[in-house]
Amino acid sequence: MKKIMLDQMILTDCCPTNAGSKMLDGYTGLFNATVVEKLKEAGYEIAGKLPVGEFAIDLVGESCFAGADKASAAAKTLENDTVMAHIALDVNGAPRRVAAQNGLVFAKPTYGTVSRFGMIPVACSGECVGVMARNAADCREVLCTIVGKDEKDGTMHTDEVCKNAAAAAAPVKKVAVLKMPTDANDKIEATKAKMAANGIEICEIDAGVIASANAAWNMLMCAELCNNVSRYDGVKYGYRTKNYKNLDELYTNSRTEAFGLTLKTAILYGSDVLSTKNYMAKYDKAMRVRRVIVEAFAGIFADFDAVLLPAVSKMAYTEKDSAFEENAYTAPASVTGLPAVVTNGVQLIGPAFSDGALLALAEALEKEGK
């Protein structure tokens, strides 16, 4: 049986799901995520769970309670070819970064084509369940298994639209290269060369308003995160402080002791963004910027089949690097819900429902590389 790993954001009723946080240490959900059910039905074996940075937003897991070196666990597991693929919740691009830095493929599908039922919620308006694998073909096989309408998720497209998106499609002929500064520029240049060898027309364009995706997504993501993690109060499940005299102290101390620094930062920022004082200037503005970016991409896709851009600023992180800054590369697809595929250390973004076409392009580039 083909083995699949899951990340710690995906609920299973058989084993704990901790969201990479001390807050949910030992928490076992009461049900399986829809993607888990779909994989089992199709005959895949769920082989285990891999750690994530806290609530899947932490860059390298520096504040994750279970120890350092989290994010590359997926990469290490996939080195071992007994595991076919790893399913991860892409909230702020963490799995895309892991794939880029470790020479793996990751497909973040079009928003609303893979069910989010059973995901620990963080930033519901943009997070997507994606597939990491050693090559595009494996990625596609697993993606085709997990796409499809789920009555338990009210934000999904019709079953036909979901399935067509993941299926193979017309080849990509014209690619726009988004100019964004990165230390990993050699990967972009190498990909451009392979594309040219494949007869693909390439044209460089300015990032323009797309450069604002990072600021917009950080606001929206933190606002939604702040609201979604408010439920963890130490009463019904998860971590509870030993240090309290009344209910307020129970709430406050449980949260203070269990959440890490990045999460606290996100909670404070998100709370501020949603406050009556700042709502119009920040949250509402971010929603407007989101729409403008969607329109900017639509403009690009009138002339091109896909966009090529970096996935990371560098090939390895230190503790000084910030998730909120690294979002610059992954936020454009997160904030718009567009499909993104990471391959050869770079990122491809296509129009909605072009997941299959992006994977086909990734496959072509793989062959060129060997």
Partner 1 sequence: MKFETVIGLEVHVEMATKSKIFCSCSAEFGGEQNDHVCPACCGMPGMLPIVNKKVVDLGMTAGMMLNCHINRTTTFDKKSYYYPDLPAAYQTTQWFAPVAVNGTVEIETANGKKSVRIKQIHMEEDAGKLVHDDWTGTSLVDFNRTSVPLIEIVSQPDLSSAEEVVAYLERLRSLLRFAKVSDCRMEQGSMRCDVNLSVRPEGSDKLGVRTEMKNMNSLSAIVRAIEYETARHIDAIENGTEELVQETRRWDDVKGKSFAMRSKETAGDYRYFPDPNIMPVVIDDAWYDAIKASLPEFPEVKKARYTTELGLGDYDADILTGSRALCDCFEGALAVCGNAKEAANWLISDCMNVLNKKQLTADQLTIDGKALGELIVLVSDGKVGRGNAKKILEAMFEQELSPAKYAEENGFIVSNDTGLIEKTVREAIAADQKAVADFKGGKEKALMALFGKCMKQLKGNCDPQLLRTMLIDEINKA
* CB of residue 143 to partner 1, shortest distance in Å: 21
* CB of residue 259 to partner 1, shortest distance in Å: 14
- Residue closer to partner 1 by CB (options 113, 182) is 113
Q: Is 247 in the site for partner 1 (CB under 8 A)?
A: yes
Q: Is 14 in the site for partner 1 (CB under 8 A)?
A: no
Residue whose C-alpha is closest to residue 148's, from 160, 140, 138: 160
One-letter identity of residue 91: V
| Run of H or E residues at 93 | none
Distance, CA of 14 to CA of 267 (rounded, Å): 30
* CB of residue 360 to partner 1, shortest distance in Å: 30
Number of residues located near partner 1, criterion CB under 8 A:
37
Q: Is 256 in the site for partner 1 (CB under 8 A)?
A: no
Within its chain, how far is the Cα of 338 from the centroid? 12
- Residue closer to partner 1 by CB (options 213, 223) is 223
Structure tokens at 66: 């279970």
Neighbours of 228 (CB within 10 A): 16
Within its chain, how far is the Cα of 160 from the centroid? 24
Non-local (6+) Cβ contacts of 333 within 8 A are: 93, 108, 339, 340, 347, 349
Q: Is 29 in the site for partner 1 (CB under 8 A)?
A: yes
- Residue closer to partner 1 by CB (options 233, 366) is 233
Q: Is 119 in the site for partner 1 (CB under 8 A)?
A: yes
Whether the Cβ atoms of residue 197 and residue 208 lie closer than 8 Å to each other: no
Annotate 99-125 with three-state secondary structure.
HHHCCCEEEECCCCCECCCCECCCCCC
Instruction: Determine which residue in the list 38, 49, 96, 116 makes contact with partner 1, applying CB under 8 A.
Output: 116
Instruction: Determine which residue in the list 25, 138, 153, 368 makes contact with partner 1, applying CB under 8 A.
Output: 153
What ranges in 207-284 are assigned the alpha helix state H? Answer: 213-228, 247-258, 261-274
- Residue closer to partner 1 by CB (options 219, 311) is 219
Instruction: Determine which residue in the list 20, 93, 121, 310 makes contact with partner 1, applying CB under 8 A.
Output: 121
Distance, CA of 206 to CA of 354 (rounded, Å): 22
Tokens 């830095």 sit on residue = 101
Q: What angle do CA 153, 87, 218 make, to 5 degrees?
A: 70
Site for partner 1 in 266-285 (CB under 8 A): 271, 274-276, 279, 283
Structure tokens at 193: 């060369």
Neighbours of 95 (CB within 10 A): 30
- Residue closer to partner 1 by CB (options 269, 317) is 269
* CB of residue 196 to partner 1, shortest distance in Å: 40
Instruction: Determine which residue in the list 235, 268, 281, 298 makes contact with partner 1, applying CB under 8 A.
Output: 235
3-class secondary structure, 174: strand
Backbone phi, psi, residue 344, to 5°: 50, 30
* CB of residue 94 to partner 1, shortest distance in Å: 18
Site for partner 1 in 154-193 (CB under 8 A): 154-155
* CB of residue 169 to partner 1, shortest distance in Å: 26
Q: Is 246 in the site for partner 1 (CB under 8 A)?
A: no
Instruction: Determine which residue in the list 138, 233, 257, 321 makes contact with partner 1, applying CB under 8 A.
Output: 233
Q: Is 288 in the site for partner 1 (CB under 8 A)?
A: no
**Which positions lie near partner 1, rule CB under 8 A?**
11, 19, 29-31, 33, 116-121, 124-125, 151-155, 223-224, 226-228, 230-231, 233, 235-236, 247, 251, 271, 274-276, 279, 283
